[in-house]
């Protein structure tokens, strides 16, 4: 039952959308919600305003303050424009890049953003058509802009769209800019304050010239060009899952010397309806079924995918049983870091005093073991690539060299001229890794097993508990409170020895009770348990979706390659038990 005070609040808010300044279609949608007997849609559309999370704005498209539409997009852009004019007031011309993906309404929202910026006297470089999210980051840096916006909801279902705001370093906004932008947005109380009438003289279309420079710079990342030529006919299946990677990623792969790219024709159709999948999330096997079928048909060496905005990567190769299997996000990170460190060492390029890698706090600790064993600096940061970019920004100009960074949610960045996860560079790099392994007489699976035998075995599982809407948000808050106030004493029979609370920036040694400070740039609503046997459990509400995420990681030794399948079975059983212990 809907609370009467809440219903009164959302009704008054919705009635404001029936006034001047809102178009007829938007008014009709609002009126239908107001007149409906069931007020659920009304409450969901107006109970709050869309807020910047780890990825900016993201929400279901439709009418309402909690929905993606030209007015919520417009208010965010007007607020950002006001802040840019305040922050860069001494510049003769403020400039921004605006891009978008293939989703429904993405072009409309991008043109709306461009018009609002230009109406505020800001120069706009607007991509002529859909482009990868990382290319927007690249263009901001290349063109010397102060900010940028990309319209995308990444891998979310087709009902969603989103708004990513970037700063002058090409990274998504972090504190204090994110808070300051929101403050400026919150000062807009009337739709009449949003300057929708653009100035065409300040909007410049960009496209192929940026594409070419981007691809050429990505190719400089190759560490094994001779191997790429030797293995040029490596069988590579690639799918963009209906997204913006369709043209640019095969072009990037070919630039590295690989010419045997096998497409999934049905998924080469760019469409915001994502007609062949329920959800275009490359983490899900269901989204990869067609690519897996194609790989089986042609007996591919590797199958790869990018998500609809081409920032994340999915990888498939044969397992011990000869079956094509989806590699998890942590394993993708392990493979990238292993190759970059190992290959740089082989080439005599590894500088242990200055080279570094970055991962997020919920990503596999086996990466930490690799870095320590190789004497490489490793930095842990919060979930979201803006935090990886923040580390890069702090170290820029110090002589430190960035080798790579990523997170378990299938995002990796192997270059420093982009400041967001990038499948346009990661996919050809993964092809090179497959070629390098094949040149050594290994399959990708062989290489992964060798990695585990050298640095220790781990297996991870992510569990998302979805709780949509106002009631769901309240339930997520209650779950986090329960885990904080009544912490686990043991997990799968192993005592909890350390608890990290990033909301308080404190960690507690359970045995001694000693509390020490966690050195992080900001607080975050994340809780972690570490057990005596090396298990790590991280709990984090999503910043962009109505869910709470559990990241579970178990560790052991792997001494013989032939024990790999048995070790996986042991890990799966243990992960099942941990999930039961956590009641999820």
User: Which ranges in 274-422 belong to alpha helices (H)?
Assistant: 285-298, 329-346, 366-374, 385-395
CATH for 214-455 (3.40.120.10, 3.30.930.10, 3.40.50.150, 3.30.565.10): 3.40.120.10
Identify the pLDDT of residue 524: 93
CATH class of the region 457-581: alpha beta
Distance CA 395, CA 167 (A): 17
Distance CA 335, CA 316 (A): 13
Residue 474's contacts (CB-CB under 8 Å, 6 or more residues apart) are: none
Average pLDDT for consecutive 10-residue bins of the chain (584 residues)? 87 94 95 95 91 74 96 94 97 98 98 98 98 98 98 94 96 89 87 97 98 98 98 98 98 98 98 96 95 98 98 97 96 98 97 98 97 97 94 97 97 98 98 98 98 98 89 90 95 97 97 97 95 97 83 97 97 97 92
The answer to whether the bond into 176 is cis (omega within 30° of 0) is yes
Residue in 110, 116, 127, 213 with CA at minimum distance from that of residue 164: 110
Distance CA 349, CA 341 (A): 9
Distance CA 578, CA 192 (A): 53
| CA angle (311 as vertex; 549, 336 as ends), nearest 5 | 80
Catalytic pick among 106, 154, 524, 538: 154
Counting every residue written for the chain, the total comes to 584
The percent helix, strand, coil of the chain (3-state, each to 5) is: 40, 20, 35
Residue in 146, 156, 155 with CA at minimum distance from that of residue 121: 146
* 279: Cα separation from own chain's centroid: 16
Domains 48-206 and 214-455 share a fold: yes
C-beta atoms surrounding 390 within 10 Å: 23
Structure tokens at 399: 């002589």
Identify the pLDDT of residue 55: 58
154 is catalytic: yes
Distance CA 418, CA 14 (A): 40
Distance CA 573, CA 1 (A): 40
Spans of all domains in the chain: 48-206, 214-455, 457-581
CATH number of the 48-206 domain = 3.40.120.10
pTM: 0.95
């Amino acid at each position: 039952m809907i609370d009467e005070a809440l219903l009164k609040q959302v009704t008054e808010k919705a009635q404001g959308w029936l006034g001047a300044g809102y178009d007829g279609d938007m008014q009709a949608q609002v009126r239908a919600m107001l007149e409906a007997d069931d007020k659920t849609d009304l409450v969901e559309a107006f109970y709050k305003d869309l807020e910047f999370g780890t990825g900016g704005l993201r929400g279901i498209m439709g009418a309402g303050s909690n929905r993606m539409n030209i007015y919520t997009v417009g208010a965010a852009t007007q607020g950002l424009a006001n802040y840019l004019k305040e922050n860069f007031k001494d510049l003769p011309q403020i400039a921004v890049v605006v891009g978008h993906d293939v989703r429904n309404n993405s072009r409309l929202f991008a043109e709306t953003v461009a018009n609002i910026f230009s109406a505020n006297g800001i120069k706009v470089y607007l991509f002529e058509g859909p482009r990868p999210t990382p290319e927007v980051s690249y263009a901001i840096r290349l063109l010397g802009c102060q900010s940028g916006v990309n319209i995308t909801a990444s891998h979310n279902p087709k009902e969603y769209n989103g708004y990513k705001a970037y700063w002058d370093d090409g990274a998504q906004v972090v504190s204090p800019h994110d808070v300051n932008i929101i403050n400026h947005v919150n000062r807009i109380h009337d739709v009449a304050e949003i300057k929708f009438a653009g100035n065409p003289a300040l909007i410049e279309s960009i496209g192929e010239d940026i594409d070419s420079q981007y691809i050429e710079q990505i190719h400089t990342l190759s560490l094994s060009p001779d191997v790429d030529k030797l293995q040029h006919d490596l069988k590579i299946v690639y799918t963009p899952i209906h997204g913006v990677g369709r043209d640019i990623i095969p072009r990037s792969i070919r630039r590295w010397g690989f010419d045997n790219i096998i497409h999934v024709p049905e998924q080469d159709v760019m469409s915001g309806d994502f007609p062949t999948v329920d959800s275009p999330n490359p983490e899900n096997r269901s989204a990869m079924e067609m690519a897996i079928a194609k790989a089986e048909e042609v007996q591919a060496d590797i199958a790869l995918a990018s998500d609809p905005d081409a920032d994340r990567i999915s990888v498939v190769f044969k397992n011990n049983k000869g079956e094509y299997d989806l590699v998890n996000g942590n394993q993708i990170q392990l493979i990238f870091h292993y190759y970059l460190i190992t290959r740089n060492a082989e080439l005599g390029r590894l500088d242990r005093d200055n080279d570094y890698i970055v991962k997020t706090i919920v990503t596999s600790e086996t990466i930490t073991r690799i870095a320590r064993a190789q004497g490489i600096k490793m930095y842990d940061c919060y979930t979201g690539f803006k935090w990886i970019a923040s580390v890069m920004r702090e170290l820029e100009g110090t002589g430190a060299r960035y080798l790579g960074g990523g997170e378990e949610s299938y995002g990796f960045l192997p270059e420093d001229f982009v400041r967001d996860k990038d499948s346009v560079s990661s996919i050809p790099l993964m092809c090179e890794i497959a070629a390098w392994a094949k040149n050594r007489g290994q399959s990708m699976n062989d290489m992964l097993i060798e990695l585990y035998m050298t640095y220790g075995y781990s297996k991870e599982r992510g569990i998302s508990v979805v709780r949509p809407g106002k009631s769901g948000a309240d339930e997520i808050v209650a779950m986090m409170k329960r885990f904080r106030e009544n912490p686990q004493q043991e997990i799968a029979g192993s005592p909890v020895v350390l608890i990290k609370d990033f909301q308080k920036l404190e960690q507690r040694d359970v045995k001694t009770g000693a509390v020490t400070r966690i050195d992080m740039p900001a607080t975050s609503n994340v809780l972690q348990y570490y057990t005596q046997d090396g298990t790590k459990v991280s709990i984090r509400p999503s910043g962009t979706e109505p869910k709470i995420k559990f990241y579970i990681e178990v560790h052991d030794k792997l001494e013989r390659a032939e024990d790999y399948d048995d070790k996986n079975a042991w890990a799966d059983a243990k992960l099942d038990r941990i999930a039961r212990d956590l009641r999820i």
